[in-house]
Amino acid sequence: MFKRIMAVSFFVLAVFSVKAQSVSEMVEEAKQLEKQMKETEALEKDKDILKIQPTEIDALTQASQLSSRIGNRQKSKDDKIPYFNQAKNYAQQALKVNPNSAEANLSMAIAMGRVALISGAKDKVAASKDVKRYAELAIKFNPSSGQAYHVLGKWNFEVANLNAFERGAAKMLFGGLPDGSLQNAINNYEKARQLDPAFLLNYYELARAYKENDQQDKAIEVLKKALTLRNITQDDVSIKVDCKKMLDDMQ
């Protein structure tokens, strides 16, 4: 009887070991697919992982960030919304697994930022408060997160450019928003560039901020540098097109 119990125990342990190994391998495969710029395939792999292990935080955060990215490439607002809602849901699940995860907080900041950019005044202001909060938490838990500083820079840029109606909504809903400024945006983007010098989108947004701040030479310098970078994400080709267009318009 003892031998039979031991045999069953070893079998159960073996099954769990194979399952864990399988999930681990799938997580690595999803990461490799993203590196190969196969983002739709990577997202589907993450979904497969989460069917097996719903609390796999790497899959949750990657699925969230990929949903934000893929959603942003959709042409219409109606097509974007389901992806952004999906990104929020994955980020919420990741935060339940580990509220102190820098990637989980970053994922939520990105998702809320995407929502804010396609929303009306009231929803934009409400989402904006979450963007700042989650970006700052991401930095708190990982001070080396270049992407978190980028999101904070984007928050400053957008708040600095709120129109009168949006500022009125912020005052009515929340008594106003913390001050955001172009200079703060530039400082955040430059910090992001220091921490993650290969992050191409940050160069485009930094150039926009320099241009808006009447620092044309700085903007041109940043854009020229952006065009020399290697493509890393699926969006980088189109980002370079935007960089080239801005550069041509400024020269």
Domains, the chain, in order of start with CATH, read: 21-118 (1.25.40.10)
231: left (phi over 0), alpha (psi -120 to 50) or beta: beta
Residue 113's identity, in one-letter code, is G
pLDDT of 206-228, one tens digit each?
Answer: 999 999 999 999 999 999 999 99
Q: How far is CA 106 from CA 113, 125, 223, 228, in A?
A: 10, 19, 26, 27
Cα separation, 188 vs 185, whole angstroms: 5
Render pLDDT for 33-80 as a digit per residue (tens, 0 to 9): 999 999 999 999 999 999 999 999 999 999 999 999 999 999 999 999
- Model confidence pLDDT, tens digit, residues 71-126: 999 999 999 999 999 999 999 999 999 999 999 999 999 999 999 889 887 788 88
**Structure-token pair, residue 92:** 């919420």
Take residue 29 and report the two structure tokens written for it.
């495969």
What would the pLDDT profile of 153-192 be if each residue is shown by its tens digit? 999 999 888 777 777 777 666 666 667 789 999 999 999 9
Of the candidates 98, 185, 173, 161, the residue with the CA atom closest to the CA atom of residue 130: 173
Query: Would you state the pLDDT for residue 176?
Result: 65
- Residue of 149, 139, 129, 136 whose CA lies nearest to 196: 149
The answer for 37, left when phi > 0, alpha when psi is -120 to 50, beta otherwise, is: left
Cα 93 to Cα 115: distance, rounded to the nearest angstrom: 18
Distance, in Å, from the CA atom of 201 to the CA atom of 226, rounded to the nearest integer, reads: 9
| Residue 173: per-residue pLDDT | 63
**Side-chain half-sphere CA neighbours of 230 within 13 A:** 6
- 136, 153 Cβ separation under 8 angstroms: no
| Distance between CA atoms of residues 24 and 56, nearest Å | 9
pTM to 2 decimals?
Answer: 0.87
Helix and strand numbers, DSSP H then E, in the chain? 12, 0
| Dist CA 114 CA 246 (whole Å) | 22
